[in-house]
Structure 1
Amino acid sequence: MEKLRPIKGTQSLYGEAADRFAHVVATFEEVRRLYGFARVEVPMFEQTGVFARTMGETSDVVSKEMWSFESRSEGSVTLRPEFTAGIARAYLSEGWKQYAPMKVATHGAAFRYERPQKGRYRQFHQLDAEVLGSADPMADVELLCFGAQLLDELGIEGVRLKLNTLGDAQSRDRWRAALIEHFAAHHDELSEDSQARLEKNPLRILDSKDPRDRPFADSAPKMVLSAEAEDFFGQVKAGLDAAGVAYELDPHLVRGLDYYRHTAFEFVTDQLGAQGTVLAGGRYDGLIEQLGGPPTPAVGWAAGIERLAMLVDDEVRAGIEAAVLPMGEEARPHAIRAAQLLRGAGIATEIFWSGKMAKRMSRADAAGAGAALIIGEEEIAAGTVQYKDLKTGEQRQLTVEETVEPITDIAAEAMLAEWSQEEQA
């Protein structure tokens, strides 16, 4: 029988790794709520055309990385490589246009067939936030503030926001034509990839890492913005200044596909080697029109959960607040009853069923418990538990109901102490 193994580029999580993952998602959900972004869900697979039309037929994702297969009834379908295209499709086919402008966010698995590396998997997970139906530059500002606060709440340090403008359609079309003329003059000296991109995706040559391309990318003509595009970018920068979000202008930061407009941005870090982007996005005013819909302004970003989880500084542990220790078979149903009462009161509780008392106490302490409830023959007869404060060592006889308040107080004190340490740090 063939030995079972994980599929290359996938991972299973347990313990602190799973807790870090969950911590990133929980923090995202909390910040999403603060910014008023509604939760949405979209299918994990779509008709292949949804991604091919929105990501560009010649892009690396479409030509090399998509997980596509033939369905018996739907033709070619593809596991989503990202969220934006599926949300745009739903905006058109599910009647979401009536809610515009709409602020939405989601998270979940995505799939790309690429070489696995640090923080990058073939099944990976993304956070995603979008504003659809708003041409206001303040939508860009709010999204950037959302991203900045998320990274701050996660405690990720050393992150820089790189910002650029791709101009409006008029500015971009003029720039694209100038780039094609510039790079065509050096066609034979460009890398093979850049030669292939020259006609359909010349902006991608600007961020090429191939040393053969760098002299021509660095000497390429700069975009000349229209007055309207200049004003739009000025409002974005002024909004970020007002919000206290620092940024660096980066004229080499581009998006290759023609439906991108105006703002492009990346939050980058030097803590992940060459793969330094942790959250990125931009305005894509032409995408929904490319799917067959009416001209619709939109802006959004995405972030990899695995990468963010790697960068969370502090130890993240889903600890407990109380431990229940039954002494003997007769105490076991009483332990279950006590644990359920505490859990019903909002107290994270674990039952440590067996083993020597010292060992069980040690395990409870390691799990983060602030208090232990010991149930033996005397406690069963009296209808009480032996309550022990694991920080002070204090012990007393209490009913289970009477333990709720002191356990809650211990948890609150622990949280205040943690906040105080963070402030001092």
Structure 2
Amino acid sequence: MTSIQAIRGTRDILPSEIGNWQMIESVARQILGCAAYQEIRTPIFEQTSLFERGIGEATDVVGKEMYTFNDRGDRSLTLRPEGTAGVVRSYIEHGLHAQGGVQRLWYTGAMFRYERPQAGRQRQFHQLGVELLGSSDGRADAEVIAIATQILQTIGLKDLSLHLNSIGDASDRQHYREALVAYLTPFKEQLDPDSQTRLTRNPLRILDSKDANTQAILGNAPSILEYLSPASQTRFDALLALLADLGISSTLNSRLVRGLDYYTHTVFEIQSADLGAQATVCAGGRYDGLIPQLGGPETPAIGWAMGLERLVILLQHLQASPPSSVDFYVVSRGEAAEAQALKLAQSLRQAGFKTELDLSRSAFGKQFKRADRSGATACLILGDAEAESKTVQLKWLNSGEQSAIAQADLLANPQQLRQQLTQRST
């Protein structure tokens, strides 16, 4: 019988590699909590119209990459291809805007796009994102960029660079769009097929083209920075000053232009020099036009998203797999010893120690080999003699030191035991 395998573009995250995922999530949760961001969890599928209106029908995401299906009620539903639209829908639906002030939200979870699978980009992928809704202040822009930078640096990433641009307000953007179309129209037949289509539907997306010939044509294209109004330029200059005050350097990238109509002013990417062609690990921007576009009140907002698969790849390049987090590995042999071992293991777990109990009933030699492979700091050994005397052999696996201790005394001073574990594990 043919075995069933994971669908192309999806992959299992195995216990041997989950450590980096958990570390990223733990760091992000701690940093975002300190910044007063609250977690929000939205459905994995939404009405298709949410993404058509929110992302735009002229985009590749909506036109080519969404997983869309009709349910049994003949409603068109879509697995979420990104997180912002769902968060904004929830913000409007539950009247979070009526609470007044700024809403700081964050999310993490699986997203879905039908793309060609490659390293760091799967058809089911995972994002961590933040949305700051209700403030047009440039400090909000600086805040979300600073938090993203802090998360990436705290998890251990190096060689990061912030690429930053301003696309101005709606008027600036319209003037630039007209200028870009005027420049590119004489070259239309030389553009790649996707860019030819975008020329009339979504011309700013042409700036993202990976086609070498199209990029060569864009070499002399006008820059969005030439079309910023004085007010937009002043705003952008103020953001650069705020980031400098925070010690965050940036690279001006006038080609960095989000191709969605609701984006305004700040757009940015954080890239890693260690990731190759898919260098972006975090991308975001200000989207003051999205909330009214989805039926809510005029509300300024800014956010970003990180691709967790890419972060994990980077961490794997920079370090070995995270060490085992097991404190004690418990081995036992004999009916009475096995019963006591179960009770002892559960007592350790309830006291907060990470404890693995060997359930194999195999010979001690085989259990000891598994204890060594587990990466545990210490091994607890119970045989017939220990069961009769109500003791346990405590063996420190890094040194081989071993001593007997009464089972009742093992947890007599949990703090001291934890200190011993810390000393022995370093």
TM-score w.r.t. length of structure 2: 0.92
Matches within 5 A, 1:346-357: 346-353=352-359, 354-357=361-364
| Residue 402 (structure 1) aligned with residue 409 (structure 2) | no
8 Å contact kept, 1:163–1:249:
yes
Partner AA of 1:327 in structure 2: R
Report what 1:42 is aligned to.
42
Report what 1:88 is aligned to.
88
| Alignment RMSD | 1.9
Partner AA of 1:133 in structure 2: G
Q: 1:396 and 1:3 mapped to 2: Cα distance? A: 49
Q: 1:140 and 1:410 mapped to 2: Cα distance? A: 46
Residue 94 of structure 1 deviates from its aligned partner by 1.6
The partner residue of 1:325 within 326, 331, 337 is 331
Name the SS of the counterpart of 1:402 in structure 2: coil
Range that drifts further, 248-257 or 383-392: 383-392
Report what 1:369 is aligned to.
376
Name the SS of the counterpart of 1:69 in structure 2: strand
Matches within 5 A, 1:15-414: 15-73=15-73, 75-99=75-99, 100-223=101-224, 224-312=227-315, 313-314=318-319, 315-353=321-359, 354-392=361-399, 393-399=401-407, 400-402=410-412, 404-413=414-423
Residue 299 of structure 1 deviates from its aligned partner by 0.7
Post-superposition CA distance 1:47-80 (Å, at most 9, x none): 1010011111121111111000112336111000
8 Å contact kept, 1:128–1:300:
yes
Q: 1:210 and 1:87 mapped to 2: Cα distance? A: 33
8 Å contact kept, 1:322–1:407:
no
List, as ranges, runs of 4+ consecutive aligned residues in structure 1 with deviation greater than 4 Å. none
Range that drifts further, 223-232 or 61-70: 223-232
Report what 1:422 is aligned to.
none
Q: 1:84 and 1:225 mapped to 2: Cα distance? A: 26
* Aligned residues between the structures: 416
Partner AA of 2:378 in structure 1: A
Q: 1:294 and 1:373 mapped to 2: Cα distance? A: 62
Residue 335 of structure 1 deviates from its aligned partner by 0.8
8 Å contact kept, 2:67–2:79:
yes
8 Å contact kept, 1:321–1:407:
no
Post-superposition CA distance 1:19-66 (Å, at most 9, x none): 222222222222222222100010111110100111111211111110
Unaligned runs of 5+ in 2: none
Post-superposition CA distance 1:188-212 (Å, at most 9, x none): 3322221211122111122322223
Partner AA of 1:307 in structure 2: R
Residue 167 of structure 1 deviates from its aligned partner by 1.1
Report what 1:423 is aligned to.
none
Sequence identity percentage: 40
Partner AA of 1:325 in structure 2: V
Name the SS of the counterpart of 1:42 in structure 2: coil
TM-score w.r.t. length of structure 1: 0.92
Range that drifts further, 403-412 or 294-303: 403-412
Name the SS of the counterpart of 2:30 in structure 1: helix
Residue 405 of structure 1 deviates from its aligned partner by 4.1
Partner AA of 1:272 in structure 2: L
Name the SS of the counterpart of 2:213 in structure 1: coil
Residue 140 of structure 1 deviates from its aligned partner by 1.2
Residue 170 of structure 1 deviates from its aligned partner by 2.3
